[in-house]
Amino acid sequence: MNKRTLITFLCFSAITPMMAQDIKGKIVDEKGEPLAFANVVLLNRQDSAFVKGVVSGEDGHFAIDSACNNGIIKVTSVGYKTAWKDCTGENAGVIKMVADSKVLGEVVVKSLLPKTILKNGGMTTTVAGSVLEKAGTMEHLLDRIPNVSAQNGNIKVFGRGEPIIYINGRQMRDRSELDRLSSDNIKSVEVIANPGARYAASTKAVIRITTKKIQGDGFGFDATTEGSYDEKKNTGGYARLNLYYRRNGLELGAYAYSSKQSSPDEKDLQQMTYLDKTLNQQDRTRWKNKTETFSSRLNASYQFDDNNSLGASISFLRNPKLQTDGKTEGSALRDEVLTETNTSIRSEFGQNSNWSSNVYYVGKVGKLGIDFNTDWFWSKGNNKNNIDEHYQEVNS
């Protein structure tokens, strides 16, 4: 075998494993019937971080375009207990889901499960009348919608990233709009992974939320508060107040939110490099983040009929404290002999204020659909960052 043939063979051998990356399997229920629209996610074993996710097809089959890398497969579907499986190869086999009696009650009634259909290039899930009405917050609800991951304030569509969200046909401009909704007021959720020409070219994905028709006029309010304290004396919590008044299609609203969070960021990293000598690099990070937030919003809207509505809003967001303090200590050893040390002490403090407003009209004139939005935004902030770094070689 000549040199060129050998190189070609080695390159082909290296590429071949990389080409076979799909992890394939099938999701079934307790009766062995295919389970469609189940979320199948590949997680990193070390920190349970999201790697990739897909939705099972109508025949129950799925294919994740990724190598296992000793990860974990997590399968979720409303009305079923979460299933876990070690990812050991390309063939994940058949994964059986077991009905969750706690979610469905003592009697498992299929009609209580949400219905997901493929429509107009997207997936529409009916929430009204299903167990999804009991999800609670919108984040908990969206995390149970096929093809969507929603955790710690981050909402993503599998394979597409962060989506643009519409509520009753109007684009959401303020994240707090989701906080004011609850699952029992949602009619349906549509997820569009491949937006067409109707949306801007930069749009990666779209989630369209349709609420139930609000019944009754008059004044109402809801308030929520939550606090936390852990073993390391980190405190946090938030308070939220929502006021509204409705009368003959007119709705006036006021919203206020305040939170305070304190959380650690602790990491330990070790990297081994094997050359003529063994290099051992170690880093130890201990940071603490403190955040204070206040936001408020005033809004007014008028719904002329089922197809036409007009509204405006103004919002204020203030972060009086965005603070990070901590230290990173590192060292390097060559053949277990200390050769260098380094230390980085960081202190950062920031503040910002934002004002924004929106005016919209969503309606129909004959067969012509109109979706008009205009926004105004103002922001001001300051940030102070101090970093004190020390590096020293041993015996110098």
Tell me: the pLDDT tens digits for 43-102? Answer: 888 777 788 888 898 899 999 988 888 899 999 888 788 899 998 888 888 999 988 766
Phi/psi of residue 37, each to 5°? 60, 35
CB 157 within 8 A of CB 193: yes
Identify the weakest region by mean pLDDT among 215-224, 307-316, 356-365: 215-224
Higher pLDDT, 263 or 284: 284
Give residue 21's pLDDT. Answer: 67
CA distance 156 to 162: 5
With a pLDDT cut of 70, the percent of the chain lying above it is 91
Higher pLDDT, 268 or 367: 268
- 249 phi-psi bin (left φ>0, alpha ψ -120 to 50, beta other): left
State the DSSP H helix or E strand holding residue 179, giving kind and residue range, or none if neither: helix 176-179
Indicate if the pLDDT at residue 390 is higher than 70. Answer: yes
pLDDT tens-place string over residues 13-47: 444 444 446 889 999 988 889 988 889 988 888 77
Indicate if the pLDDT at residue 347 is higher than 90. Answer: yes
CB 174 within 8 A of CB 297: yes
Cβ-based neighbours of 374, under 8 Å, separated by 6 or more: 358, 359, 360
Identify the weakest region by mean pLDDT among 60-64, 148-152, 293-297: 148-152
The model's confidence at residue 104, banded by pLDDT at 50, 70 and 90, is low
CA distance 137 to 210: 15
Provide DSSP, 197-242: TTS-TT---EEEEEEPPPP--EEEEEEEEEEEE-TT--EEEEEEEE
Mean pLDDT of 230-258: 85
CB 211 within 8 A of CB 180: no
CB 29 within 8 A of CB 96: yes
Structure tokens at 44: 């990193």
Give residue 14's pLDDT. Answer: 46
The model's confidence at residue 351, banded by pLDDT at 50, 70 and 90, is very high
Identify the weakest region by mean pLDDT among 113-122, 220-229, 372-381: 113-122
Indicate if the pLDDT at residue 12 is higher than 60. Answer: no
CA distance 295 to 240: 10
CA distance 97 to 29: 5
Provide DSSP, 65-85: ES--TT-EEEEE-TTB--EEE
Indicate if the pLDDT at residue 364 is higher than 90. Answer: no
CA distance 1 to 54: 44
Give residue 2's pLDDT. Answer: 52
Higher pLDDT, 308 or 280: 280
Identify the weakest region by mean pLDDT among 126-130, 154-158, 365-369: 365-369
Mean pLDDT, the chain, as a whole number? 84
**Can you say how many angstroms the Cα of residue 317 is from the centroid of all Cα atoms in its chain?**
21
pLDDT tens-place string over residues 183-223: 888 999 999 988 877 777 788 899 999 888 765 678 888 88
pLDDT tens-place string over residues 311-327: 899 999 999 999 999 99
Topology (CATH level 3) of domain 19-101 = Immunoglobulin-like (2.60.40)
Indicate if the pLDDT at residue 175 is higher than 90. Answer: no
Higher pLDDT, 357 or 249: 357
Structure tokens at 231: 């073993």
Mean pLDDT of 253-281: 89
State the Cα angle at 206 between 196 and 71, rounded to 5°.
115
3-state secondary structure of 132: helix
3-state secondary structure of 358: strand
CATH of 114-211, one of 2.170.130.10, 3.30.1780.10, 1.10.150.120, 3.20.20.60: 2.170.130.10
Task: Give the distance between the most distant pair of CA atoms in the chain.
Answer: 87
Structure tokens at 109: 């009634």
